[in-house]
Amino acid sequence: MFWNRKPRLPEGVGAADFAGSGTPLKFNSVEFRDGQQSLFATRMTTADMIPLLTRMDAIGYDSMEMWGGATFDVAVRFLKEDPWERVREFKKYMKHTPLKMVLRAQNLVGYKAYPDDIVEKFVEKAAEAGIDIFLIFDALQDLRNCESAFRAVKKAGKKIEGSVQYNVSPFHTTEVFVQNALEQEKMGASLMHVEDMAGLMTPQAAYDLISALKKALKIPVHLHCHCTGGMAEMAYWEAIRAGVDGLDVCVSSMSMGPAHPPIESFLTALKGTSRDPKIDVGQFKSINDDFMKLRKKYAEFETKLVGVDVGCLQHQVPGGMLSNLESQLTAMKLYDRLPEVLEEVTRVRADMGYPPLATPSSQMCGAQATTNVLTGNRYAMVSKELKEYCRGMYGMPPGPIAPELLEKALNGEKPTFPRPGDMLEPVFETARAEVGSLARTEEDILTYALFPNYAPDFLRCKYRL
């Protein structure tokens, strides 16, 4: 009878179809960082995470990305909980899974360049708290901005994960991405992360880029895609065929939309193949149930994107920024203007020299696009951050900045593009003096140095002052 026959893979699919076949695929969990950042504006508390940790530690992830990005900012500003303590709490429960943070190179977890002494001290304290892997990226892919962070991670004896910020522009090609990755490998990266933050990557682009990186690099290559554009799962499969070593995933109840593909789908698809990681799908049932309850709890912050937004192929807005942009416009009762803002994002990005829309360039571009739309007068008001960008304080843009933007931002001043860290004086001891008795640890001083406008309120709350 037909139901007694052994199932076989479709024609052309099998061990030989996978480049580098024989190596089990690895998975990086992103629910507690980019997953929740993309779905509900990073509002999940540490207390709500803790009950899930022991079960997630047992799954067999290669790593767990749980810190950095917006998690630090949101914890201090909105949740009034200590972000440093979150790392220590995770370390109590995650006995087998290395903890990873996303570090915005010279921008750390903030939205501007910080002096080298702050970069060095931040990495030192993050490593002490329990971060094992530092995923370091620069929004402009200007690797001068990564130098201090790379040095500090090496000094701390931790692992450096380099990053290529995938995007589509006249200035970004497979050759450019590969050369950038090679330079990071020479700088000391022991893993290369490809970040498709806006869900733009086509299946063919995934195959071509991963194939090229695998051929050029000696270190493993991982891929990170958002589902915004509807192609992430296809891109992941083509990346697997090209020999990718690992994928960033969420569990199914935290997947899709502007978030990431579900791990369960790939575990099922790879079962019995040469890339089978042999992770039991059955263990996700209770985890998914608990995450679904949390999504209901945080429903007021939930993204309005359901399914696919093919508009991302034009505006290239990443998932985490999209949910925050929606939240901000909703708060201003202007959500209906979102399509206009996203159209203007495309124009502003071109004017900025086509930076990848990763933090902080995504925030600068989104904020300026919103201002342009709401005032009805392009660049009548230019943000302080965008002016600094035009001066070169964030690094070298991929392409030239439009003359109209330069004139409105700098009023005739000629921009230079030095390494931003070289333009900044040390400030750690200054921050220590300014924050005074509100800070009781070096971590507190760093929190103040990073976010001086709202760290004092947070510290008073933390110490019940």
Whole-angstrom Cα distance, residue 145 to residue 243? 30
Report pLDDT for 15. Answer: 44
Taken in order of first residue, the domains within the chain and their CATH numbers are 22-288 (3.20.20.70), 312-421 (1.10.472.90), 427-462 (no CATH)
Q: What is the mean pLDDT of residues 153-159?
A: 98
DSSP bridge partners of 359 = none
Q: Are 365 and 382 in contact (CB under 8 A)?
A: no
Distances 50 to 45, 89, 146 between C-alpha atoms, Å: 9, 8, 32
Average pLDDT, whole number, for the chain?
92
Structure confidence at residue 345 (pLDDT): 93
Structure tokens given for 69 = 């990005």
pLDDT above 90 covers a percentage of the chain that reads 83
Six-digit token pair at 232?
């992430």
Confidence at residue 438, expressed as pLDDT on a 0 to 100 scale: 97
pLDDT band at 21 (very low <50, low <70, confident <90, very high): low
Is the pLDDT reported for residue 202 higher than 80?
A: yes
Peptide linkage before 7 cis (omega within 30 of 0) = no
Spatial distance between the Cα atoms of 381 and 375, rounded to a whole number of angstroms: 9
- The whole-number average pLDDT for the span 211-231 is 97
Pairwise CA distance, residues 438 & 121, whole Å: 19
Q: Where are the beta strands (DSSP E) in 275-384?
A: none
- Confidence at residue 3, expressed as pLDDT on a 0 to 100 scale: 41
Q: What is the DSSP string of 312-346?
A: HHHH---HHHHHHHHHHHHHTT-GGGHHHHHHHHH
pLDDT in tens, 269-327: 999 999 999 999 999 999 999 999 999 999 999 887 778 878 788 888 876 677 678 87
Q: Within 13 Å, how many C-alpha atoms sit on residue 441's CB side?
A: 12
